[in-house]
């Protein structure tokens, strides 16, 4: 474990500079991090324990330079590693060609070992799946072909088959974890080599890695097959039947949707967990699965001068629209869907609507320019009579409204989103639908900067579904670092979602991001010079969302304990890397699997963002996640004091003074809290909305600062009753001010001849009444403006009522004192 403190600046934090010289993320004080060598050892799966990369030996090889001694200047370098034991140590001797050849040979041996094991295990899994398919088909056939008086397969046979399939699922999970951790190990050791030796090995090594691409194994077909088999066995040969056609009756379902981010390390495990409860939704069961079946591409429109649609969707204003053109599969698909999504507030009693119609690709340009009228689009459909006249009329009206909006408001293509989707759902049953979008990328479609990306066409044609689109320049594409999970529930009022869904969204595999939008994120990322209002999740993009594994949650082998094991030795101190390289490879492989699925090429350096060099250490089951919270800093302070003692001088005396000052302050505060009576807060139960988004996770808040010239928009829920509540509060203050004014008038006119005392007291009450009136007007104007503009304002009044009550108490007390003195009672 490693606690980091800069003893020169007295700042205890870890700064990541992976995106350049400016820190992209600063960890909280007291952050506990685990070095990769330790993470590798604690991630060992017993079956693969002899086939992992020998990371420690490769590090030792880097220290065995055989050249002449390096001078003091070159050894110390600009980073002055001798000042901090956690900095990367430079070799004391020069790195020679012989050293490089020796290291490359050792590296090739490790690559060969990992590649061979991966190939052998993959072949074994494929054979087991093929065998299990035959067994399941035979079992189901016996179930269906039995005669009226014949005994069907015993329940034990189905249970046995279910256990066999679960064991295969666990094998796929373990293999994915093995591949991911080894890929990360190779990436990190190459990075360490380049930094320590000054020899740039990364391009050469990527070529060698492509010759033995153990990380490119595609589990899509396996997952589809496993899902089908498991569903057959689980339902005892009677899987749910129904309409699974894309864009069919499913579009009419009204669902409650929540969104989550999934780290690439967890994608395969998440899919394998879900398929045990829901089958992969395959739209054409008769067709063999192909990678292109999972691809979904959308072109979003907006006014590039005003960004009306962007701001409307970001602020979730009533009636906010999104217009997009979508197609499924490759560029050769001739069927294009024109969609319009309309947001409706809950208080209206209406549901948000997504409506669409399809058009031939050859007609899209003429339709969007206004040359082809909607009536002509549906002329053929009317003649063929395949659709009802009512449906055709609705689609034609939608086409007219979309065309009018595009022409009148100047909407143009601005952003494309591409992803591969895995959907899990029982056919014709919309109660629970889960989709996982991987390889998510946003691409510019505009011509705003003078670059003719699409020209006069409605979409650019230099890319298709060939993720990661390495042919595009960096300014034209944003590759999203996470997968996006959507959980869509259709439950009756008051009905709880299934228990397994609640466990899933509360697990370590997902990070809740309510109201996340691909369109909003794409525009905010691709047009930084034009977009000034950012979504609330943008500051979270540089924070590692991984968490310690949840207790008793994940893939388990039937009737076996966890397959994971660990060896122990502590890692040496020089394993710590400062993350100062440019954004590059993701250390973890972006897994994907699917029924609407994904594709990848993790060897392309520009494809995904670099992982943080340090990963969060595993905590105990009941411990807080150290990446987000670390309150107990006593041991950290002791370590820092001991380190500063070795440095000596002012650094030591400053750290010693801080320690005693902190101890004195904490002691004083504890005594004050014990002596001074104070109100105790009431525990507020978790709301249903928070439970839906975050499950049982503890929700923490933190303040973020927007970049210069930009603002971060936080979603604010505004209903008509909010306006009425603000008015009622204002009227309450107004009524109270009138009462105080009445008291002042009564005191001023009390008796036949008002005295000086009654005049002064009446003046105090009059002043209070005027101040209360002014304050209530100011608060009402502030709140009304915040409600109209949907600002994340604090609507509770912390000081107003308290100050007014104290002032009123003082006024009454002064009146009592002056009146008693006037009557010579004291």
Give the pLDDT confidence of 437-446 residue by residue, as tens digits: 999 999 999 9
Please give the pLDDT value at position 485: 94
Residues 221 and 74 in one domain: yes
SS3 of residue 284 by DSSP: coil
User: Can you tell me the distance from the alpha carbon of 99 to that of 637, in angstroms, rounded to the nearest whole number?
Assistant: 42
Residues 661 and 724 in one domain: no
Residues 223 and 321 in one domain: no
User: Can you tell me the distance from the alpha carbon of 278 to that of 570, in angstroms, rounded to the nearest whole number?
Assistant: 42
Reference 26, options 41, 40, 11; nearest CA is 11
Strand partners, 2: 33
CB within 8 A of 215, min separation 6: which ones?
A: 179, 180, 183, 209, 589, 602, 603
Q: Which of 616, 648, 674 is the last residue of a domain?
A: 674
SS3 of residue 438 by DSSP: strand
Domain assignment present for 498: no
200, with CB counted inside 10 A (0-12, 13-18, 19+), is exposed
Q: Which of 378, 410, 442 is the last residue of a domain?
A: 410
Domain assignment present for 379: yes
Catalytic residue status for 518: yes
Residues 638 and 756 in one domain: no
Measured from the Cβ of residue 761, the count of other Cβ atoms closer than 10 Å reads 24
Residues 83 and 210 in one domain: yes
Cis peptide before 468 (omega within 30 of 0): yes
The two three-digit tokens of residue 599, written as one number: 């594709």
8 A C-beta contact, residue 229 and residue 132? yes
3-class SS letters over 774-815: HHHHHHHHHHHHHHHCCCCCCCCCCCHHHHHHHHHHHHHHHH
What's the gap between Cα 276 and its chain centre?
Answer: 24
Residues 186 and 131 in one domain: yes
Reference 544, options 615, 491, 476, 484; nearest CA is 615
> Helix 267-275 and helix 220-234: axis angle, to 10°?
20
Domain assignment present for 294: no
Q: What is the dihedral of CA 297, 302, 308, 311, to 10 degrees?
A: 30
Residues 85 and 194 in one domain: yes
User: Can you tell me the distance from the alpha carbon of 55 to that of 36, in angstroms, rounded to the nearest whole number?
Assistant: 9
8 A C-beta contact, residue 205 and residue 107? yes
Ranges of residues in the chain whose predicted pLDDT is under 50: 1-33, 72-90, 244-254, 561-636
CB within 8 A of 770, min separation 6: which ones?
A: none
Residues 730 and 649 in one domain: no
Domain assignment present for 260: no
User: Can you tell me the distance from the alpha carbon of 576 to that of 34, in angstroms, rounded to the nearest whole number?
Assistant: 9
Residues 92 and 204 in one domain: yes
SS3 of residue 80 by DSSP: coil
Please give the pLDDT value at position 288: 63
Please give the pLDDT value at position 642: 65
Domain assignment present for 360: yes
Strand partners, 375: none
The two three-digit tokens of residue 666, written as one number: 């904490």
Residues 654 and 783 in one domain: no
Residues 655 and 749 in one domain: no
**DSSP letter (8 states) at residue 548:** P
CB within 8 A of 89, min separation 6: which ones?
A: 81, 574
Domain assignment present for 160: yes
For position 325, which CATH number holds?
A: 3.20.100.30
CB within 8 A of 211, min separation 6: which ones?
A: none
Residues 42 and 185 in one domain: yes
Q: Which helix (H) or strand (E) holds 184?
A: helix 155-197
Q: How many domains does the chain have?
A: 4
Q: What domain range includes position 194?
A: 27-227
Domain assignment present for 84: yes
- Dihedral sign from CA coordinates of 246, 252, 255, 258: positive
Active-site residue (options: 141, 518, 532, 794): 518
Please give the pLDDT value at position 440: 94
CB within 8 A of 531, min separation 6: which ones?
A: 307, 310, 523, 524, 710
User: Can you tell me the distance from the alpha carbon of 466 to that of 329, in angstroms, rounded to the nearest whole number?
Assistant: 11
Domain assignment present for 734: yes
The two three-digit tokens of residue 285, written as one number: 């069961």
User: Can you tell me the distance from the alpha carbon of 498 to that of 773, in angstroms, rounded to the nearest whole number?
Assistant: 53
Q: Which of 614, 645, 674 is the last residue of a domain?
A: 674
Percent of the chain with pLDDT strictly greater than 70: 71
Q: How far apart are the first and last CA of the chain?
A: 72
8 A C-beta contact, residue 583 and residue 24? no
């Amino acid at each position: 474990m490693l606690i980091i403190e800069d003893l020169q600046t007295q700042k205890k934090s870890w700064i990541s500079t992976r995106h350049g010289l400016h820190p992209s993320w600063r960890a909280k004080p007291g952050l506990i991090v685990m070095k990769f060598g330790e993470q590798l050892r604690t991630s060992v799966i017993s079956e693969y324990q002899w086939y992992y990369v020998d990371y420690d030996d490769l590090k030792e090889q880097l220290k065995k330079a055989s050249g002449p001694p390096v001078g003091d200047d070159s050894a110390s370098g600009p980073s002055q590693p001798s000042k901090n034991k956690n900095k990367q140590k430079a070799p004391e001797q020069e790195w020679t060609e012989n050293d490089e050849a020796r290291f490359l040979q050792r590296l090739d041996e490790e690559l060969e070992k990992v590649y061979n094991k991966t190939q052998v295990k993959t072949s074994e899994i494929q054979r087991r799946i093929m065998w299990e398919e035959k067994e399941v088909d035979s079992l189901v056939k016996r179930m269906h072909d039995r005669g009226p008086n014949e005994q069907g397969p015993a329940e034990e046979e189905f249970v046995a088959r279910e256990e066999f399939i679960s064991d295969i699922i666990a094998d796929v999970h373990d293999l994915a974890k093995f591949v991911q951790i080894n890929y990360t190990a190779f990436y990190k050791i190459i990075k360490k080599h380049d930094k320590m030796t000054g020899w740039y090995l990364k391009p050469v090594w990527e070529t060698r890695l492509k010759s033995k691409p153990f990380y490119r194994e595609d589990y899509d077909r396996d997952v589809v097959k496993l899902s089908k088999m498991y569903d057959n066995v689980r339902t005892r040969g009677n899987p749910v039947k129904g309409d699974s056609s894309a864009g069919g009756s499913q579009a009419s379902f009204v669902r409650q949707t929540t969104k989550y981010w999934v780290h690439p390390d967890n994608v395969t495990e998440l899919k394998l967990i879900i398929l045990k409860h829901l089958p992969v939704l395959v739209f054409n069961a008769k067709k063999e699965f192909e990678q292109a079946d999972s691809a979904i591409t959308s072109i979003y429109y907006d006014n590039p001068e005003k960004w009306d649609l962007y701001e409307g969707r970001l602020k979730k204003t009533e009636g906010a629209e999104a217009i997009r053109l979508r197609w499924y599969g490759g560029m050769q698909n001739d069927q294009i869907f024109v969609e319009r999504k309309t947001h409706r507030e809950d208080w209206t009693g209406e549901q948000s609507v997504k409506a669409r119609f399809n058009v031939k690709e050859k007609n899209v340009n003429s339709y969007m320019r206004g040359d082809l009228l909607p009536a002509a689009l549906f002329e053929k459909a009317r003649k063929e009579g395949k659709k009802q006249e009512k449906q055709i009329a609705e689609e034609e009206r939608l086409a007219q409204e979309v065309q009018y909006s595009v022409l009148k408001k100047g909407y143009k293509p601005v952003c494309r989103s591409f992803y591969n989707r895995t959907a899990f759902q029982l056919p014709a049953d919309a109660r629970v639908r889960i989709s996982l979008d991987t390889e998510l990328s946003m691409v510019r479609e505009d011509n705003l900067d003078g670059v003719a990306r699409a020209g006069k066409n409605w979409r650019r044609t230099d890319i298709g579904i060939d993720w990661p689109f390495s042919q595009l320049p960096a300014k034209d594409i944003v590759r999203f670092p996470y997968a996006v999970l959507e959980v869509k529930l259709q439950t009756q009022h008051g009905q709880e979602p299934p228990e397994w869904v609640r466990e899933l969204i509360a697990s370590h595999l997902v990070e809740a991001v309510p109201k996340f939008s691909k369109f909003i994120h794409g525009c905010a990322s691709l047009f930084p010079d034009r977009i000034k209002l950012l979504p609330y999740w943008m500051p979270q993009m540089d924070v590692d969302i991984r968490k310690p594994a949840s207790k008793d949650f994940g893939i388990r082998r039937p009737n076996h304990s966890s397959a994971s094991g660990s060896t122990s030795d502590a890692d040496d101190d020089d394993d710590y890397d400062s993350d100062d390289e440019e954004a590059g490879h993701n250390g973890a492989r972006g897994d994907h699997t699917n029924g609407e699925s994904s594709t990848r090429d993790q060897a392309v350096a520009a494809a995904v963002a670099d992982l943080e060099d340090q990963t969060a250490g595993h905590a105990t089951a009941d411990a807080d996640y150290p990446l987000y919270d670390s309150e107990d800093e006593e041991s950290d302070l002791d370590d820092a004091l001991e380190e500063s003692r070795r440095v000596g001088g002012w650094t030591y005396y400053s750290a010693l003074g801080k320690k005693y000052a902190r101890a004195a302050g904490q002691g004083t505060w504890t005594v004050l809290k014990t002596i001074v009576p104070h109100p105790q807060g009431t525990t507020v139960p978790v709301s249903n909305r928070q439970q839906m988004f975050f499950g049982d996770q503890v929700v923490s808040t933190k303040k973020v600062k927007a970049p210069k010239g930009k603002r971060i928009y936080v979603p604010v829920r505004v209903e008509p009753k909010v306006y009425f509540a603000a008015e009622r509060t204002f009227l309450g203050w107004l009524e109270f001010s009138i009462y105080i004014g009445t008291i002042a008038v009564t005191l001023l006119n009390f008796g036949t001849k008002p005295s000086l005392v009654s005049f002064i007291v009446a003046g105090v009450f009059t002043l209070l009444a005027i101040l209360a009136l002014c304050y209530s007007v100011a608060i009402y104007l502030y709140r009304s403006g915040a409600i109209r503009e949907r600002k994340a304002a604090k609507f509770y009044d912390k000081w107003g009522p308290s100050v007014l009550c104290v002032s009123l108490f003082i006024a009454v007390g002064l009146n009592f004192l002056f009146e008693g003195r006037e009557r010579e009672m004291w």
